[in-house]
Structures are given as structure tokens and as C-alpha cells.
Amino acid sequence: MSLWPMAADEVAPVAGHVDVWRCDLRCGPYVLGRLWDLLDDGERRAARAFRFEWLLRRYVASHGMLRLLLGQTLAVAPASITFTKGFHGKPRVAAETPLEFNLAHAGEMALIAICTDGAVGVDLEALDRPGMCYEEIAAVAFTPPENAFIEASRDAAAWWRHWTRKEAYVKATGEGLSRSPDSFSLSQVLPARTWQPASDRGWQIRDLDPEPGYVGAVATRGPHRLRQWSFANAG
């Protein structure tokens, strides 16, 4: 059975669960036009600001799919959803709801995480990043114990995996770029593939493997069961 099945019907939200959707952003003109129609004026202005067509397409596809999934979860029309900003500017639905969501994209793929009863953050990275000097970035992004763990793991994707864990966590807290990644450390204190920040035991971080060439992670406040889905992109 696929770890990322296509949902046969609309996925009903379940308390104590976090749903993560794998989205293929390679949309044809018809589908892209339908997704464009769901966006609000601010989103359309943001899309038009991109200088490159592929960035515009990726933005429209990911934000349109986000609206479809939020509309399904909230049982409202996707185009009717309005957004506001919460703590540290983290996007959230303007309606009165405990639901939280987060979006990440890399290459031609996006991950969308939705949780109806807790903070959530998700990150996604492509492994093929030629020209990057990992050692220099790790020196300012990771703590010494984290660098030691990565070196000992002997895993070619270990660097990006740990980066996505830290990014998912600060996106879940809402701090994002306002918090330096080397200001906190993650410790492997739970069973395999489940992490917690060493100084904040109320969080849970899980690794994600959306497809070969990509790694990701999702962070939630408190324990949540993970459900993984593939978004049905009709072209």
C-alpha cells in the first residue's frame, strides 16, 4: 500500500491527527486556470510579481490546491476563504477555527499540512542542490551536537533531513526566519523518525519522504497521528 494514497473521497478531519498532502505542481493550462480563479486579489498580485513563469505557475498551483484542501476541511467554498496573520506573521484562516495549516514547496512539488487541533509546520527540500557548501551553512545553522550527529549518521541526505526538521519546527511555532536555526537543538529522544526540540518537549517532529529526490518534515504541538495523502492533480 502506498504511503501517499489518493483519497477516494473527501478526507474528513479527525481530532488528534495531522494530514499532510503531497501535491504535484505540474499543472496544464486548464487546471492552472481553475486554480487561478480560486485566488483572491492579493494572491493574484503576488503571483504576477514573479519574473519567471515557472515561479508564477508554482505559486498559483500550490495556493490554489491549499484553498481546495482548506475548503474541503472546513466545508466551505475554497474561493470564499480569507486569510490573516497570527503570531510572527504566520498565515492562518481568518474565520474562527482552531485549524492551522502550513505550506512548503520545492522544485515541482509542494507539501500542505492541516491540523484541526494544534500548531503545525511543514518543510520540503530537493536533494539535488549543486554548488551548495553544506559545511559552511551547517556551521551557522546547526549546533555542534547536531553536526556531530549528522556526520556520524553517514547518510547522504542527513543534512537536508535535519534542515527540514528545524524548518518545520520554527514554521509551526510561527517564528520562521525570526529565530536563528543555531539557537536551538533537536534531540532524538523518541522512537525512530519522531523527534522533539531538546528545550521544548511539547513538540513532535516526523520525517517525510514524498518521493525520490525530496525530503521533508512535519512538526506538531503535542502528539498527533500522521495521515499522508496525494493530491489528485488532473493535469
Q: Which helix (H) or strand (E) holds 128?
A: none
- CA 224 to CA 17: how far, in whole Å? 5
What pLDDT shows up at residue 7?
A: 79
Query: In this predicted model, what pLDDT tens digit does every residue of 84-122 receive, in sequence order?
Result: 988 778 899 998 899 999 999 999 999 999 999 999 999
- CA 57 to CA 72: how far, in whole Å? 22
- CA 79 to CA 94: how far, in whole Å? 13
What pLDDT shows up at residue 157?
A: 78
- CA 202 to CA 225: how far, in whole Å? 15
What is the residue-level pLDDT of the chain in tens, covering all 235 positions? 568 999 767 788 899 999 999 999 999 999 999 999 999 999 999 999 999 999 999 999 999 999 999 999 999 999 999 999 887 788 999 988 999 999 999 999 999 999 999 999 999 999 887 766 667 777 777 888 777 777 766 565 778 888 898 899 989 988 766 677 777 777 643 344 556 665 666 888 999 999 999 999 999 988 899 999 999 876 5
Phi, psi of 174 (to 5 degrees): 90, -5
Q: Return the domain boundaries, the chain.
A: 17-230
Q: Which of 227, 219, 226 is nearest to 200 (CA)?
A: 219
Bridge-based pairing state of the strands 214-221 and 17-24: unpaired
What pLDDT shows up at residue 191?
A: 40
Identify any residues that bridge with 125 across adjacent strands, giving them in sequence order: 215
Q: DSSP H helical segments within the chain, as ranges?
A: 29-38, 41-48, 53-74, 134-141, 144-153, 158-173
- CA 212 to CA 39: how far, in whole Å? 30
Name the amino acid, one letter, at 23.
Answer: C
Q: How far is CA 142 from CA 111, 151, 203, 207, in A?
A: 24, 12, 19, 17
pTM confidence score: 0.89
Phi, psi of 215 (to 5 degrees): -135, 155
CATH superfamily of 17-230: 4'-phosphopantetheinyl transferase domain (3.90.470.20)
Given a contact cutoff of 8 angstroms between Cβ atoms, the answer to whether 224 and 206 are in contact is no
What pLDDT shows up at residue 72?
A: 94
- CA 23 to CA 57: how far, in whole Å? 13
- CA 106 to CA 109: how far, in whole Å? 6
